[in-house]
Amino acid sequence: MMLDEQQLQKLLRLKRFEQPPPGYFDRTLNEFHRRQRQELLRPPAVQIWFERFLSSLWSFRVPSYAYGAAFAAFLVAATIVGSGVWAPYKEMVGTSSNLAKVASSPVIERSSYRLALSGNVDWSNFNPSSVSPHVVPVVRPSQTALPRYVLDGRPVSYEASFSF
């Protein structure tokens, strides 16, 4: 015979009689206090991590040849950068010669922020700001700027004379 709903509920209520041993809740309260005290005394995780990091630094022994290797690497890097063999990037400066090149071969390919010149391109669609942030906006002087250096009545330079 199957248990009906009421019998099942009565049966489930018998589970109230499953009890932990006497004195359990008082003992567990003591355990709770002990854990709370431990938690208060325990330093935060960041502090533990920092202390471990510091102690690992002190215990870290650098091999003697590493100093020499580091100094040699520094010398090589300084030589390369100082001699101008390598520069992080070259900006295309809007000088008159550069402008002339752009005007005569007007294809600008977007390739890792550099300008490449080849083929024919419709200049009407050219938008310098979409091509590269390094396209220098000195393509033509401002309308209001006065030529600083004039030769035979024709402006030669817009730069200050002391830079010649």
Q: Are 146 and 133 in contact (CB under 8 A)?
A: no
Count residues near another protein (CB under 8 A): 28
> Smaller CB distance to another protein: residue 15 or 90?
15
Asked if residue 40 binds another protein (CB under 8 A), the reply is: no
Asked if residue 44 binds another protein (CB under 8 A), the reply is: no
Residues with Cβ within 8 Å of 145's Cβ and at least 6 positions away in sequence, in order, are 158
Query: What does the block give as tokens for 151?
Result: 């030769």
Query: What does the block give as tokens for 73?
Result: 């690497």
**Near another protein in 58-117, by CB under 8 A:** none
CA distances 57 to 51, 66, 123, 130, Å, are 10, 16, 60, 48
Min dist CB 24 to another protein, Å, is 8
Q: Are 89 and 134 in contact (CB under 8 A)?
A: yes
Asked if residue 20 binds another protein (CB under 8 A), the reply is: yes
Asked if residue 38 binds another protein (CB under 8 A), the reply is: no
Residues that bind another protein (CB under 8 A): 1-3, 5, 7-22, 25, 28-29, 31-32, 35-36, 39
